[in-house]
Chain A
Amino acid sequence: MPYLSEIQHRNVLEPSGNVAGRLADVVVLPKEQFPAVQWAVLAAPGGEKVIPWSELIAEVSHFRLRTAPAGIRAATLPPEALRLGRDLLDKQIVDTHGAKVVRVNDLQLEETAGQLRLVGADVGLRGLLRRIGAEGTAERMAGMVGRKLPRGIIPWHLVEPLEAPESSVRLTVPSAKLALLHPADLADVVEEMSADDRRAVFEQLDLETAAEALSEVEPEMQASIVADLDEQRAADLLEEMAPDEATDLLQDLPEERREELIELMQDEEGGDVEELLAYHEDSAGGMMTTDFVALPRDLSAGAAIDRLRELKPDPELAYYLYVVDGEGRLDGVVSLRDLVVADPATPLVDMVDPQVLKVEPQTPKEEVASLMAKYDLLALPVVDARRTLLGAVTVDDVIELILPRGWKKRSTRPVAR
């Protein structure tokens, strides 16, 4: 199984044995899972010439042409063709299995059924050593101390090329492979990309995945992504995000841009966000979401479950159901468990636990976090002085607060979806 670095720059001989040129590059069409090598780029004295790969016969340390070069018609490469040496070697790719951006040190090719195919990207130390011609030496040295050099090859079907700066086409179409990543992993990958690639990803992914991924991106980068996006697309993404996340993001934008985006958002989501923007970032008001579930006190348990089916609340908001009176004042809380085991006819007012722990919007975030940690809460309601329910702080926001900066990124076990 040859590597690109081993065959690139080899001499190409005419059938007669004269040197016709060198093998400058190898070209595939990236359509199949393991694309077949279709063309060779020959560097001849008169310039580069693209010829079909089938014209070459591999011999021990060189290639030989089947026919004299004058008899081979030069091919033209289709725009989607990938020149392995120019477009992939030393460039960045997304390892969709490990959910990270890595650099290609070498490319692994394999001959199967008479076809040379691109099977993997070498991103390991071996690839680097091979490129400087030191793989053998390093292998022997490692062998002397009883170790083996690790291989670092990513199978090609798990690879997503990022871009090809020298070619005329942009490869960056966040294809199915990227969309398969968990939004949190996708966020990690996106953080490693250039601004252009990031924009392409957020423009082309489906709205829901894009919004979830955007929520997971580091705060300062969120602002710059939203700043680069088309306004309508940005507003759509913000609508799709949880109101508290959208608010945090908007807070980092210049005021003018922020107001434009809120204007473009649907009235309901825009209104939520405007309300949340009024609170200080580091207080319960700034952390809370307005997506909580509030049920009227006279609703029966059965009707309440029906209401939940309609609302489809996010998991962290589904467990605590807040019961409110006619004026939206918090009476207490009913857990999902209580609701499910209760007789469907029981009104909520008979099962509500009035001893609910609550905070005011001005409560500092540290206090919110310590309350939730101490009482093992998944969410904490936020009420004003008149007990009107304003929102709820959920455990995911508190974890982000407690976790030291950067730790989230330490996890290297991407989730397969």
Chain B
Amino acid sequence: MLGPGLISGFADNDAGGITTYSLAGTQFGYGLMWALLVTAVALGITQELGARLGLGTGQGLGGLIRERFGVRWTAFAVLTMLAANLGTTVAEFAGIATALGLFGVPVQASAILAALFIVVLLGRGSFGRIQYGFVAVGIAVSVAYAASAVLARPDWGHALTSLVVPGIQPSGAYLLALVGVVGTTITPWGQAFIQSYIVDKGLGPGDLTPSRIDVGLGALLTNLVAGFIVVACAATLWTNGLPINDAAGAATALGPLAGTSATVLFGVGLLAASLLGLGTVPLTSAYFACEAFGWESGVHWRWQQAPVFYGLLSFFVGFAALFVLIPGLPLFPVMFLAQVFNGLLLPIILVFVMLVSRDRRLGPLRGGPVLEALGWLVTLLVSVMSVGFMVTLLLGFSG
């Protein structure tokens, strides 16, 4: 059975994930491998904190923030979450448009199709069943990346030592890619999702062990796949000094396995990943906001019974669909930049997660001092990274 850790793990490798890892591997080769290892551990830590909160309190992150900080701070947290997730939703739409674009579908048609698809699925409440299909495609594409990485005969020694020896480069582009990699792996929506999923399934303190295994495996697998994407891109594109500017370029990393069918494989994988993300992120956002403010949420309600919930869902889908229709919008960079945006807002959400983790109701579920210290360390590192990036940007060194 797939738990929330694994589902969000696969949804993490969504449109933005595939794009970001591809760009990272192509631009810097194995130079960001260490970041994948560090974010895998960090993701395991933050997801475990979220799982414990859900198991111990029976409330989502939004509800806990509201109880501890009152209405004003909650409004701030909700706006932050919605902004980050709106960016992610735009990235999913861009992913769908890019994927279908590889098959010659115009972006206008893709946007409308994607919007209709998600409205119908969520309206019928059948996303829960279909998501396993997307996960299956996701697994297939992950295996394809792994196979491609092996077939491309990468420099495994270099790849593995890069995991532990940080190949940090003092450039704005490197920092940008780093923020993107972190932002697509540890996400504000992922923190909200893990907790609300556990609450929704009615899991309690007795489910701590399976939940820990679930989030641990999720974090590990997510970044294992990310690692293969980076290696595949490094071994095919980076070694030959090729840049990628679009999806067709990124697809060539699957060439060693799929040959001329690489584009098709990449397109199908990107589509499934984007749809999985699209079925998860807007829902998670609407739940988060509604729980915090005490409004009805859930697809079992009718429109009139949960107007804010459905209003938010519609806004997310409508906004993202219209956004990708902006004439001349470069879809590929949009997917990547949405992850950077996520990374920049992440510290705010993590600080809230850490502060509500002091809830007395957690009792024995409250993580020990080690977990708490690690949580703060992750928060601190992510904050330093984000602030550092903003400063670099403001100083104009980002080029």
Contacts and interface: CB of A to CB of B under 8 A. Distances in A.
A270 B174 CA distance: 66
B293 A103 contact: yes
Contact of A407 (B59, B204, B206, B300): B300
B294 A105 contact: yes
Interface in B281-314: 293-294, 298-302, 305
Interface in B164-199: none
* Central interface residue in B58, B66, B298, by most chain A CB within 10 Å: B58
A275 interface: no
B342 interface: no
Interface stretch (A35-43, A177-185, A189-197, A299-307): A189-197
Contact of B202 (A91, A103, A191): A191
B302 A92 contact: no
Given A165-B67, A407-B300, A194 B58 contact: yes
Interface residues of A, number: 36
B202 A410 contact: no
Interface in A301-335: none
Nearest to A224: B202
Interface stretch (B70-78, B81-89, B153-161, B324-332): B70-78
A90 B67 contact: yes
B55 interface: yes
Interface in A246-263: none
A341 interface: no
B71 A410 contact: no
B57 A410 contact: no
* Central interface residue in A103, A132, A166, A199, by most chain B CB within 10 Å: A103
B300 A410 contact: yes
A392 interface: no
A404 interface: yes
* Central interface residue in A89, A90, A404, by most chain B CB within 10 Å: A90
Contact of A195 (B202, B302, B360): B202
Contacts of A404: 125
B70 A220 contact: no
B333 interface: no
Q: How large is the interface on B (under 10, 10 to 19, 20 to 34, 35 or more residues)?
A: 20 to 34
Contact of B301 (A165, A193, A410): A410
Contacts of B202: 191, 195, 198, 218, 220-221, 224-225
A267 B70 CA distance: 53
Contacts of A409: 298, 300-301
A410 B299 CA distance: 10
B359 interface: yes
Contacts of A367: none
B72 A123 contact: no
Given A89-B70, A410-B300, A195 B204 contact: yes
A94 B109 CA distance: 47
Contacts of B204: 194-196, 198-199, 224, 227-228
B210 to A, nearest CB: 11
B206 A410 contact: no
B300 A123 contact: no
Contacts of A76: none
Given A406-B125, A410-B300, 14 more contacts: A90-B71, A103-B63, A123-B294, A128-B71, A132-B71, A193-B58, A194-B57, A195-B203, A195-B205, A196-B205, A198-B202, A224-B204, A404-B125, A409-B300
Interface of B: 55-59, 63, 66-67, 70-72, 74-75, 125, 201-207, 293-294, 298-302, 305, 359-361
7 contacts: A103-B294, A105-B294, A131-B71, A132-B75, A166-B360, A194-B361, A405-B300
